[in-house]
Amino acid sequence: MTFNDLDFNEQLAEGLLSMGYKTPTAIQQMAIPVIMEGKDVIACAQTGTGKTASYLLPVLNMIGAHPNHQIKALILAPTRELAQQIDQQVEGLAYFTEISSMAVFGGGDGMAYAQQKRGIDNKVDILIATPGRLISFLASGSLKLNHLEYLVLDEADRMLDMGFQEDIMRIISYLPAKRQTLLFSATMPSRIRQLARTILHEPEQINIAISQPAVGIKQQIYKVHDEQKTKLLSGILKSGAFTSIIVFSSTKDRVKSLDKELRGSGINAKAFHSDIKQDEREDILLEFKNRQLPVIIGTDALSRGIDVEGIDLVVNYDVPPDPEDYIHRIGRTARAATTGTAITFVNQRDMRRFQSIQQLIEREIEELTLPPELGEAPKFKEEANNRPRNSRGGGNRGRGGRNNGKGGKRRPNSGPKQQSSNG
Cα radius of gyration rounded to whole Å, the chain: 22
**pLDDT tens digits along 234-281:** 999 999 899 999 999 988 899 999 999 999 999 999 998 878 877 788
Residues of the chain predicted below pLDDT 50: 383-423
Answer yes or no: are the C-beta atoms of 126 and 75 closer than 8 Å. Answer: yes
**Whether residues 312 and 411 fall in one domain:** no
Based on the fold, state whether residues 189 and 227 are members of the same structural domain.
no
Dump pLDDT digits (tens) for 124-158. Answer: 899 999 999 999 999 988 899 999 999 999 999 88
Same domain for 250 and 161, yes or no, is no
392 found inside a domain? no
Q: Is 51 in the same domain as 195?
A: yes
The answer as to whether 179 is a domain residue is yes
Cα–Cα distance measured from residue 328 to residue 139, given in angstroms and rounded to the nearest whole number? 34
What residue type is assigned to position 163 of the chain? G
My answer on whether 206 and 222 are in the same domain is no
- Phi and psi (nearest 5°) for 362? 60, 45
pLDDT score of 322: 77
**Domain contains 271:** yes
Nearest to 112 by CA among 311, 267, 277: 277
Whether residues 27 and 161 share a domain: the answer is yes
Q: What is the pLDDT of residue 421?
A: 39
Residue 295 · residue 243 · CB < 8 Å: no
| pTM summary value | 0.63
Give a yes or no: residue 393 inside a domain: no
Q: Are residues 205 and 310 in the same domain?
A: no
Do both 238 and 350 map to the same domain?
A: yes
Residue-range definition of the domain harbouring residue 38:
3-210+398-421
> Beta 313-316 vs 245-248: how paired, if at all?
parallel
With respect to residue 391, please indicate whether it lies within any of the assigned structural domains: no
Q: Are residues 24 and 157 in the same domain?
A: yes
Whether residues 313 and 201 fall in one domain: no
Q: Does 283 reside within a domain?
A: yes
Determine, yes or no, domain membership for 314.
Answer: yes
Domain tally, the chain: 2
Same domain flag for 148 and 251? no
Q: Both 275 and 144 in a single domain?
A: no
Task: Assign residue 101 the CATH number of its domain.
Answer: 3.40.50.300
Q: What is the pLDDT of residue 300?
A: 76
